[in-house]
């Protein structure tokens, strides 16, 4: 609707156009970088839903991505299943395990939840290392590609499509009452229960949804990169996903996507500085946490919308909330 169009929407549309046109402008190296960035974007956005909106600080997200990658690869290689079957089966398996984990961590929050999920991720990584006969351990598991030829362009657009679909699905979820309940649980679980919210059900819903998204990301990654190793579950990888979501906007799904692309691109641009680039990214994370706790993208969006507002009538910006015009929030 024209009446609810804001400059921030224009920015999102512009970024989408840039993403669509990038392969025509950038060289093969940057197309490859972009295709990898979509993997991280899927992870960062789904983790933002889990942690930013629902308040469930899970470190096992990356393990679900590895489950997706290895699951799809093994079903294809060992059982000979077609990709059309192995991918959905792996995502369903991840969602079932996500439900199981959601049920296991029902009474955990904050540092206890973080430690529990960290242990889950580490156990999964060690299983991948130990089960050498199945996973080829640290040698790496070769995974068949999805497209013939050596071009990364099809992967780039597949990744972009998956990110867009994931954003639409997650935003759709957040627009329903489930999204409102998830935010209420994040704010105060006891108050949510006293308000009649079935917190158990909704926590499981968010774990199932995000585990499925992470598994899908892992599947994409495995078939794109062509080799999987237990290193995709190491703690720094999870730290990178968290940094992407936090820098972009932990309570903004598009923000997390932008954060993932910017951080990954920066880590490539700064590659000549070796390990120092991660020091720089760490510093960026600290600065963002200090001055823009909800990430940089919402700050830019707010700035644009404020500039567009008529004098003396600045819009009420609903921080920490998805775009809910006509739903819950009624900005004046």
Residue 325 C-beta: closest distance to other proteins, Å: 12
Among positions 75, 184, 205, 232, the unique one binding other proteins when judged by CB under 8 A = 184
Report the alpha-carbon distance of residue 115 to residue 109 in Å, rounded.
10
Judged by CB under 8 A, the number of residues near other proteins is 29
How far apart are CB 191 and other proteins at their closest, in Å?
A: 4
- Residue 186 in tokens: 């994040």
Binding segment toward other proteins, per CB under 8 A, in 88-96, 112-120, 164-172, 191-199: 191-199
First-residue to last-residue Cα distance in the chain: 15
CA distances from 114 to 22, 40, 59, 61, 105 (A): 37, 20, 6, 11, 10
Out of 17, 92, 187, 287, name the contact with other proteins by CB under 8 A.
187
Smallest distance from other proteins to CB 219, Å: 34
Q: What length is written for the chain?
A: 332
Give least dist CB 235 to other proteins, A.
29
Beta carbon nearer to other proteins, 8 or 117: 8
Q: Which of 190, 290, 307, 313 binds other proteins (CB under 8 A)?
A: 190
8 Å CB contact between 68 and 97: no
- Report yes or no: 64 and 214 within 8 Å, Cβ to Cβ: yes
Q: Which residues contact 25 (CB under 8 A, 6 or more apart)?
A: none
Distance set, CA 126 to CA 10, 73, 97, 122, 229 (Å): 45, 18, 18, 6, 11
Q: If binding is defined by CB under 8 A, does position 110 make contact with other proteins?
A: no
User: Quick one: which of 131, 132, 142, 319 contacts other proteins (CB under 8 A)?
Assistant: 319
Q: How far apart are CA 214 and CA 69, in angstroms?
A: 10
Binding segment for other proteins (CB under 8 A), chosen from 28-36, 150-158, 221-229, 319-327, is: 319-327
Instruction: Please name the helix (run of DSSP H) or strand (run of DSSP E) that holds residue 187, with its range, or none.
Output: helix 177-187
Q: Is 180 in the site for other proteins (CB under 8 A)?
A: yes
What token pair was written down for 174?
């957040």
CB of residue 304 vs other proteins: minimum separation in angstroms?
20
Among 139, 161, 188, 282, binds other proteins (CB under 8 A): 188
Determine contact, residues 72/133, Cβ cutoff 8 Å. no
Q: Least distance in Å: CB of 248 to other proteins? A: 18
Q: Does 331 bind other proteins (CB under 8 A)?
A: yes
Footprint on this chain of other proteins (rule: CB under 8 A) = 177, 180-181, 183-184, 187-188, 190-200, 316, 318-321, 327-332
């Amino acid at each position: 609707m024209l009446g609810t169009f804001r400059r921030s929407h224009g920015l999102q549309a512009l970024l989408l156009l840039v993403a669509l046109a990038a392969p025509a402008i950038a060289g093969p190296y940057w197309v490859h970088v972009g295709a990898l960035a979509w993997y991280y974007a899927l992870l960062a956005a789904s983790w933002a839903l889990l942690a930013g909106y629902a308040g469930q600080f899970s470190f096992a997200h990356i393990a679900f991505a590895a489950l997706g990658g290895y699951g799809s690869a093994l079903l294809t290689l060992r059982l000979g299943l077609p990709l059309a079957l192995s991918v959905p089966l792996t995502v369903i398996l991840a969602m079932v395990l996500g439900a199981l984990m959601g049920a296991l961590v029902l009474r955990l929050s904050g540092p206890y939840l973080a430690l529990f999920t960290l242990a889950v991720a580490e156990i999964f990584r060690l299983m991948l290392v130990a089960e050498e006969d199945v996973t080829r351990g640290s040698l790496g598991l070769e995974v068949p590609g999805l497209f013939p030829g050596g071009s990364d362009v099809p992967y780039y657009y597949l990744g972009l499509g998956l990110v867009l679909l994931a954003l639409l699905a997650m935003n759709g979820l957040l627009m329903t009452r489930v999204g409102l309940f998830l935010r209420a649980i994040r704010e105060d679980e006891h108050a949510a229960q006293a308000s009649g919210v079935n917190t158990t059900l909704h926590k499981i819903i968010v774990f199932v949804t995000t585990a499925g998204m992470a598994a899908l990301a892992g599947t994409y990654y495995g078939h794109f990169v062509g080799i999987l190793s237990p290193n995709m579950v190491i703690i720094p990888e999870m730290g990178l996903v968290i940094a992407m979501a936090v820098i972009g906007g932990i309570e903004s799904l598009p923000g997390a996507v932008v954060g993932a692309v910017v951080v990954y691109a920066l880590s490539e641009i700064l590659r000549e500085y070796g390990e120092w680039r991660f020091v720089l990214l760490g510093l960026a994370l600290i600065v963002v946490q200090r001055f823009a706790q909800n990430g940089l993208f919402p700050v830019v969006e707010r700035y644009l919308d404020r500039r567009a507002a008529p004098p003396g009538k600045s819009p009420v910006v609903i921080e920490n909330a998805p775009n809910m015009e006509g739903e819950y929030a009624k900005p004046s």
